[in-house]
Structure 1
Amino acid sequence: MVAKIQYHNFEPGEFVYNQKVDFENARSIILSFPWEEERRKLHVDLTNPSITFQTDNDLFLKLALYYNGKFILYYYNEKHLYTHSFINLEASFSFIEYFFIHQDIDRSQYKLESTWLKNLKINFISQDFVYSTAKKTFFQLMDNWTKGLLLFDFIFLIFLFLKFGINISAIFVLLFFFLLSGGINLILHINHYRNFKNKTLVLSRGSDFFYLETVTLQ
């Protein structure tokens, strides 16, 4: 089973440690985690100061900080979310040990939470935070807002030419309208594309550094 750790400034899916452990290792990690220091900036959520245990078949048990000095276990099986809160850290150990032994939980001891329309998986699955423009075309990198504006400009162009024909006045109106709508966005996107084409950025909120490299395509 893998243990992975989150701190208060981490993004959803951002973890450190990521090592295989048994229950005794897990217990040591839990006891050495700076719970009270992390509690100072606590905002209770599924991405929170926590230690997550993950099985090989992607079952998750996350021990996290909770309200009023308490702790909470979140069990997630990619379908349902169960919770159980504790007044102190030691009270959670028997539940965690049960998970290590059975790779499951005793559902009679947990509360089934409503997860309607919630994207829970992002809070448990590790993300790599690699943002790459390699092999991306000009239009693939364009945001949907700019695409929408350019489409609107194209429709407006057809309307002008059908109604007034091709003349100087229509062209000036179109150019003016184009600059006010999608034109500026297009210019910014061209500049963005030229500067960031074939670049890879590794960046996350919890990391003290970021990594940027240029990818040479064969």
Structure 2
Amino acid sequence: MLQLISKLQHNTYEKGEFSDEQPRDLEETIQFIKDFPWDAERALTDIQLTGPSITIQDDDLNYLKFGLYFNGKFCAYYLDRDNHLYEYHAKTVDEACDLVADFFNQKLNLSLFEKHFFNIGNKPHFITNDFIYRFNSARVFAIGLVISVYLLFFFGVLFFTAIGKEKAMPVSVFLTMIVTLGILIGYIAATTMKGRHQYLQISKGKTQFSYGYDEEHIVVYDKADIKEISYTLGSKGSVSNVKIMFKNGEFIQPANLLDGMTLLEKFPKTPKTVSNQRFFSFSRR
């Protein structure tokens, strides 16, 4: 009996996040759709490709996804392997299940669907993301490059200011500047490279996540065990120094794995304490 992979997505999940992914036959898939808590998740849900839904994948990598639509209806999205997106609005769950039967039997009538004109960025809404993050060497290099350029500019201004005033800058002072710059860059590189084997697997909707300072010592954590998260907020809204503190006194500090704001968004219900770079702080709950 033909089985196709199906998976669900709740309203708390982010793009590419799915649960209960496994092969199911037609009867099991229809029951899977009918058992989904559509009414409970309809309230305050935006109508979009990512949201409360059931997604089915065939052997040719075509996808049929059922989500919520306005006025109690359901939206069927069909994405073919060439990234063409189609949309149909079903009045009832039973009507949606009829489309499932057609999809299983390769008899889906696309003439009933409205074809989207723009087909950019569709697949991430259908394909399962593993949400695994590792050390981002390119990001660290970019940060080091910015700091280096800034310091070179600063030292250059001092040097040429001295020349403009017809004052000779001692060679020892200039060499000290260069050495200081080298030490600072070396310190940044050494500090960040210590965490180059880090591993983080985390998504917004699921309560458990995994972190390890290297992939041989990965620990599974639960968001419910977190006491609070502290972080530093830069002058332009950048987030850094994220520290996840648990109720048992333990803490972890994932760094250079993903953007700080993106990391915070993985913990929508966790208390957070923020301090900015002007050396005063306040609490955000």
Q: Decide: shared fold, TM above 0.5.
A: yes
Equivalent residues of 1:6, 1:48 under 8 A apart: yes
Note the residue ranges of structure 1 that are not aligned, 5 or more in a row: none
2:85 match: 81
Equivalent residues of 2:83, 2:123 under 8 A apart: no
Equivalent residues of 1:27, 1:93 under 8 A apart: yes
List per-residue Cα deviations over 1:121-151 (Å, max 9, x = no partner). Answer: 1111111011122xx6xx4341746534534
Equivalent residues of 1:141, 1:193 under 8 A apart: no
2:29 match: 26
Q: What is the distance in 1 between the residues matched to 2:111 and 2:35?
A: 30
1:112 partnered with 2:110: no
Query: TM-score normalized by structure 1?
Result: 0.77
Equivalent residues of 2:33, 2:54 under 8 A apart: yes
Pairwise CA distance, 1:114: 2.3
Q: What is the distance in 2 between the residues matched to 1:187 and 1:91?
A: 63
For 1:98, which of 94, 99, 102 is the aligned residue? 102
Q: What is the distance in 1 between the residues matched to 2:53 and 2:197?
A: 36
Equivalent residues of 1:73, 1:84 under 8 A apart: yes
Pairwise CA distance, 1:158: 6.0
Q: What is the distance in 2 between the residues matched to 1:190 and 1:8?
A: 41
Say if 1:140 and 1:109 are closer, same or farther in 2 by CA, change over 3 A.
Answer: same
Which letter maps to 1:147?
Answer: L
Q: What is the distance in 2 between the residues matched to 1:216 and 1:89?
A: 44
Say if 1:85 and 1:142 are closer, same or farther in 2 by CA, change over 3 A.
Answer: same
Pairwise CA distance, 1:191: 4.8
The secondary structure found in structure 2 opposite 1:99 is helix
1:2 match: 5
2:231 match: none
Where do 4+ consecutive residues of structure 1 move more than 3 Å? 143-166, 185-194
How do 1:134-149 residues align onto structure 2 when only pairs under 5 Å count?
139-142=137-140, 144=142, 147-149=145-147
The secondary structure found in structure 2 opposite 1:18 is strand
Which letter maps to 1:209?
Answer: Q
2:47 match: 44
Q: What is the distance in 1 between the residues matched to 2:86 and 2:215?
A: 46
List per-residue Cα deviations over 1:161-210 (Å, max 9, x = no partner). Answer: 57849836x96xx89xx9xxxx8x9977865554x331101110011111
Say if 1:141 and 1:65 are closer, same or farther in 2 by CA, change over 3 A.
Answer: same
Q: What is the distance in 2 between the residues matched to 1:65 and 1:115?
A: 21
Higher RCO by CA contacts (8 Å cutoff, separation 6 or greater) = 1
Say if 1:145 and 1:71 are closer, same or farther in 2 by CA, change over 3 A.
Answer: farther
List per-residue Cα deviations over 1:67-112 (Å, max 9, x = no partner). Answer: 121101000114210000012111112211111111x632211000
Pairwise CA distance, 1:119: 0.9
Query: TM-score normalized by structure 2?
Result: 0.61
The secondary structure found in structure 1 opposite 2:75 is strand
Pairwise CA distance, 1:214: 2.9
Pairwise CA distance, 1:10: 0.6
Say if 1:88 and 1:187 are closer, same or farther in 2 by CA, change over 3 A.
Answer: farther
Q: What is the distance in 1 between the residues matched to 2:205 and 2:104?
A: 28
Q: What is the distance in 1 between the residues matched to 2:199 and 2:49?
A: 29
Count of matched residue pairs: 202
Say if 1:53 and 1:216 are closer, same or farther in 2 by CA, change over 3 A.
Answer: closer
For 1:17, which of 17, 20, 37 is the aligned residue? 20
In terms of fraction of residues, the more strand-rich structure is 2
Which letter maps to 1:199?
Answer: Q
Which letter maps to 1:120?
Answer: N
Q: What is the distance in 2 between the residues matched to 1:36 and 1:93?
A: 17
1:204 partnered with 2:206: no
Which letter maps to 2:95?
Answer: A
